[in-house]
Structure 1
Amino acid sequence: MHSWGDKLVLRGLSFHGFQGAKPEERKLGQKFVVDIDAWMDLAAAGKTDHLSDTLSYTAIYDIAKEILEGSPHNLLKSVAQKIAITILTNHNEIFVVRVKVGKPHVAVRGPVE
């Protein structure tokens, strides 16, 4: 386990998007679920209890929403990377970010979790 300090954790963000390489994915769209961990120093926020000393979860949520519901990408890896880069670029107080993008209804033969 990494020790990068404090962490904002967003789990189970759900969006309907048109990501994917298959024509039906681009036409019908599907549900995507996103988990984001963003490491930053939250010591000041813990002491002051002021939103100005931290980052609102909404700022991170809005980035994920805009990308997932926006222009289609063929690969989820590309979507996750764009979310991560946008978070790091727009919010320099975050020094490490981890993004997980999942397709709950991925079309494979066999059980998937």
Structure 2
Amino acid sequence: MNKLGKININNINLYTFNGVHPEEKRLGQRLEIDVEMTYPIENNVRNDDLKETVSYSDVFKTVEKFVNSHSYNLIESVANHLLSELLQNYPTLEHIKLRIRKYSAPIAGIFDNVEIEVEGGRDNGRS
């Protein structure tokens, strides 16, 4: 039986200029990103060697570089394209779930954030 562990990077904070409204593109806003990666840790990590796993430092750098070098109107687009980028760059990952939170959404009301969640993997043709 193939066992699957999780590697999570939580609350990656990045300042971006994504958004539909001109003030969002001009002033920017903070995004917070969680990356949940399914990887067979129990089967693959045997010798305490980084080569046996996925470097979360590299994943962090990939997320940071992608978000800082792309601009979209919708954080849904950020999420979908980032998911594809991660699946392409880290083929040993079985599944990835992303949660992206936007704190300065232009909504007239009191709320903490807006969150988008997407996921995909080798098992559902999303790669």
- Residues 1-113 of structure 1 aligned to structure 2 (within 5 Å): 5-43=4-42, 44-45=44-45, 47-113=46-112
* Residue-by-residue CA offset, 1:9-62 (whole Å, 9 max, x unaligned): 0110000111111111111211110011011111222x2111110011112111
Q: Percent identity?
A: 22
Output the CA distance in 1 between the equivalents of 2:82 and 2:24: 20
Q: What is the TM-score with the length of structure 2 in the denominator?
A: 0.80
SS state of the match for residue 49, structure 1?
A: coil
Higher relative contact order (CA 8 A, sep 6+): 1
SS state of the match for residue 8, structure 1?
A: strand
What is the RMSD computed on CA atoms of the aligned residues?
1.3
SS state of the match for residue 72, structure 1?
A: coil
Output the CA distance in 1 between the equivalents of 2:88 and 2:70: 19
Contact 1:8/1:38 (<8 A) preserved: yes
- Runs (4 or more) in structure 1 with deviation over 6 Å come to none
* Residue-by-residue CA offset, 1:57-98 (whole Å, 9 max, x unaligned): 112111211122122101111101111111111111011101
| Count of matched residue pairs | 109
Gaps of 5+ in 1: none
SS state of the match for residue 55, structure 1?
A: coil
Output the CA distance in 2 between the equivalents of 1:86 and 1:71: 12
Gaps of 5+ in 2: 113-127
SS state of the match for residue 101, structure 1?
A: strand
Return the letter of the residue paired with 2:60. Y
Output the CA distance in 2 between the equivalents of 1:20 and 1:65: 17
Contact 1:17/1:70 (<8 A) preserved: no
